[in-house]
Chains A and B, each alone.
Chain A
Amino acid sequence: EAGVTQSPTHLIKTRGQQATLRCSPISGHTSVYWYQQALGLGLQFLLWYDEGEERNRGNFPPRFSGRQFPNYSSELNVNALELEDSALYLCASSTLAGGLFFGSGTQLSVL
């Protein structure tokens, strides 16, 4: 069974640009979660999608947004990139019992 897949593995952007990160959940999982792991800051919850709808979002500005497609894959969009957006972005999918299964992440570097 394939795990959670994320693309791209690495992404380099400059300040002010937009970044799009993609995630495919484990087959059968309808929920997708996005977390930001910045150096020294642990994992910060960004967004939760379930059945195509945004269910909850963390304490991030509106320039962080996303969507979930009918096949349950998801995109995270970050507009007007700032230097402090540089981080590892992790996607996870889950079962109803709430255990999260993570992808390997997208390392976003903003120059």
Chain B
Amino acid sequence: AQSVAQPEDQVNVAEGNPLTVKCTYSVSGNPYLFWYVQYPNRGLQFLLKYITGDNLVKGSYGFEAEFNKSQTSFHLKKPSALVSDSALYFCAVRDSGSARQLTFGSGTQLTVLP
């Protein structure tokens, strides 16, 4: 079985400061990892993914994530937060096998304070 943990329900950061949203995962095989963002009353928007290759993945809107196999983590980062980054962020995982549905974490509400 695959699972995702987002240990923080809420992250607050001041505008201009770096932000980190944490994610750890568990899969039986090689992981495919994803980050999505959700704005109020909207669907999820894809930010970035890790399939293979470089452990540092760059995505949309200046976000990046670092895959750490030994710590089974895939933390989302941004060097300088914007107020408009305030949203709900979801980490998701699937293994590289045939069961292609994603398992999502419970979400982390990011608030960037002006």
Which positions in A face B, CB cutoff 8 Å? 4, 6, 31, 33, 35, 42-43, 45, 48, 50, 55-56, 58, 90, 92, 94, 97-105, 107
Contact = CB atoms under 8 A, between A and B. Distances in A.
Contacts of A43: 44, 90, 104, 107
Contact of B43 (A48, A55, A105): A105
Given A43-B90, A48-B101, A100 B45 contact: no
Closest 10 CB pairs of A and B: A102-B43, A43-B104, A102-B44, A42-B106, A104-B43, A48-B101, A105-B43, A98-B32, A45-B101, A103-B43
Contacts of B99: 56
Contacts of A4: 43
Contacts, number: 57
A58 B90 CA distance: 19
Interface of B: 32, 34, 36, 41-46, 49, 51, 90, 92, 94, 99-107
B92 to A, nearest CB: 8
A97 B43 contact: no
A55 B101 CA distance: 10
B32 to A, nearest CB: 5
Contacts of A90: 43-44
Tell me which of B43, B49, B51, B102 has the highest count of chain A C-beta atoms within 10 A of its own C-beta: B43
Contacts of A33: 101-102
